[in-house]
Structure 1
Amino acid sequence: MKKIFIYIFIIQLTTFQLMAQNNQLGSWNILNSNYHLNDTWSIWAEGQIRSLGFYSNFHYYEYKGGFSSQVHKNIKLTLGAGSYQTYNEGGNFLLPKNNDEFRLWPQIILSQNIDKFKLEQRFREELRFTSNGYRNRIRYRLGASYAFGKMKKINKPFQVQISNELFFTDKEPYFERNRFLVNFQIKTTQSSSIQIGYLHQFDYRINDETGRDFLVLGFSFDVFRKSSLEKVATQGINEN
């Protein structure tokens, strides 16, 4: 099983394009919150805003929410929905929009610990109601994370993460996008964390949010219904 995960991960990494589509670094900003009802169920919400320049040329934002169920220690199910808005390039939220979209998506995450590493596979099906008509899309992400530092309660304070995600549709050209992420996460408290990373996105004949190179900055916090539920660990690689 360990060799299978390693082989799949190597194959995915070979799809990463070393040359970016544009040398200008954009920004990718995330605010995420999770409300844990108990050890199994949680409600979450997230907002994102992105720019093609370094905090200039803002062209995209999204807000979404849903609920998740940890049905097994290695299996997590999620149902999410949200609004995804893409604007023209060349300015801050420049009209007319490229895409005005509502999206509904079920998701499953499979995880496995191998030595000191945690491996994750994420499968997501997106039902997309766009300004250009209805579309389907399937996403598959393979990621690994490594936590280190002095243990604080049940978590280590630092975590390095790497992932690669492929986007497919049921219509030509079928393959739409490849998204590669390297991320560093710091737990500031038992229930909050910040992340900084680099994301490269390669698009192939896609007309929604444009891919480039991005500096990723994120903040995540968890709220627990009871103090005893703080044994629920915060998420690793951004799930949503």
Structure 2
Amino acid sequence: MFMRIAIIGLAFFVSLKSSAQSTGSWNIINLKADLRKGFSVFGEAQLRSLKYYDDFHYHEFKAGLNYKAHKNVVLTMAAGKYDTYGEGGNFELPKNNAEIRLWPQVLIAQEVNKLKIENRFRTEMRFTSNGYRNRFRNRFGVVYPVFPKKNIELGVYNELFFTNNEPYFERNRVSVNVTYKLNPSSSFMIGFLNQFDYKINDETGKNFIQVGYYHSIVRKK
């Protein structure tokens, strides 16, 4: 089953490269480990390009602590390093932005029949090379198990970005993805993301193909 998905994904990427050179890549590796009493830790790395695996212009590294306060509520405190490079090549200098972020987050999730609904609120305290900024993000998403026996889910998300300074609204980000659960601890995701920037001066790009690998170290009961 995994080989079949991999072959389909490879064919999709090859066709995309020949027809949509302006579409970038968005690559994610996420590791999570469960601790005691509802706590868990995670780390994530991302690498993005403005063209199809070319013109790499952005990377980020972040880590944090999660606490499951309720069966439907997860609280997070995290920090990360975010770097944006100039356009026209791979990691072009000088950087457009070098940034450290601290961000608390609340994730509220609910299942209605087979549909999983989530609402994520995040506040970012951004220490950038252009000064300190605040940003507020709200992501709403729904996930549906299209092939539950084969562990395949379809997810649709929309995220809004705001600041406390004019023009207040910065960005809208929409994504659609398919996740295949390889086993109880690992999953693979492929999707498409589009973002509209109203007034933003750091990470850029409009369309991205997303590829992600997620691995959890589950604590035995």
So what's the TM-score if we normalise by structure 2?
Answer: 0.88
Separation in structure 2 between the aligned mates of residue 167 and residue 148 of structure 1, nearest angstrom: 29
Q: Structure 1 residues 39 and 159, CA, compared in 2 at 3 Å: closer, same or farther?
A: farther
Pairwise mapping of residues 167-178 of structure 1 onto structure 2 (< 5 A)?
167-178=161-172
Match of 1:94 in 2: 92
Match of 1:116 in 2: 114
Once the two structures are TM-superposed, the CA of residue 30 in structure 1 deviates from its matched residue by: 0.1
Separation in structure 2 between the aligned mates of residue 98 and residue 150 of structure 1, nearest angstrom: 43
Once the two structures are TM-superposed, the CA of residue 211 in structure 1 deviates from its matched residue by: 2.8
Q: Which amino acid aligns with 2:133?
A: R
Equivalent of 1:45 in 43, 46, 52:
43
Match of 2:26 in 1: 28
Separation in structure 1 between the aligned mates of residue 146 and residue 70 of structure 2, nearest angstrom: 24
Separation in structure 2 between the aligned mates of residue 147 and residue 80 of structure 1, nearest angstrom: 29
Pairwise mapping of residues 222-237 of structure 1 onto structure 2 (< 5 A)?
222-226=216-220, 228=221
CA offsets per residue over residues 16-73 of structure 1, 9 Å max, x none? Answer: xxxxxx9711000000000001361100000000000000000000000001011101
Once the two structures are TM-superposed, the CA of residue 205 in structure 1 deviates from its matched residue by: 1.6
Match of 2:199 in 1: 205
Once the two structures are TM-superposed, the CA of residue 114 in structure 1 deviates from its matched residue by: 1.5
Structure 2 residue matching 1:171: 3-state secondary structure: coil
Once the two structures are TM-superposed, the CA of residue 190 in structure 1 deviates from its matched residue by: 0.9
Higher strand share: 2
Q: Which amino acid aligns with 2:200?
A: I
Count of aligned positions: 202
User: Percent identity between the aligned chains?
Assistant: 52
CA offsets per residue over residues 116-163 of structure 1, 9 Å max, x none? Answer: 101100000000000000000000011000124355xxxx61110000
Name the Cα RMSD after superposition. Answer: 1.4
Relative contact order, CA 8 A, sep 6+: which one is greater?
Answer: 1
So what's the TM-score if we normalise by structure 1?
Answer: 0.81
Displaced runs of 4 or more, over 3 A = 148-151
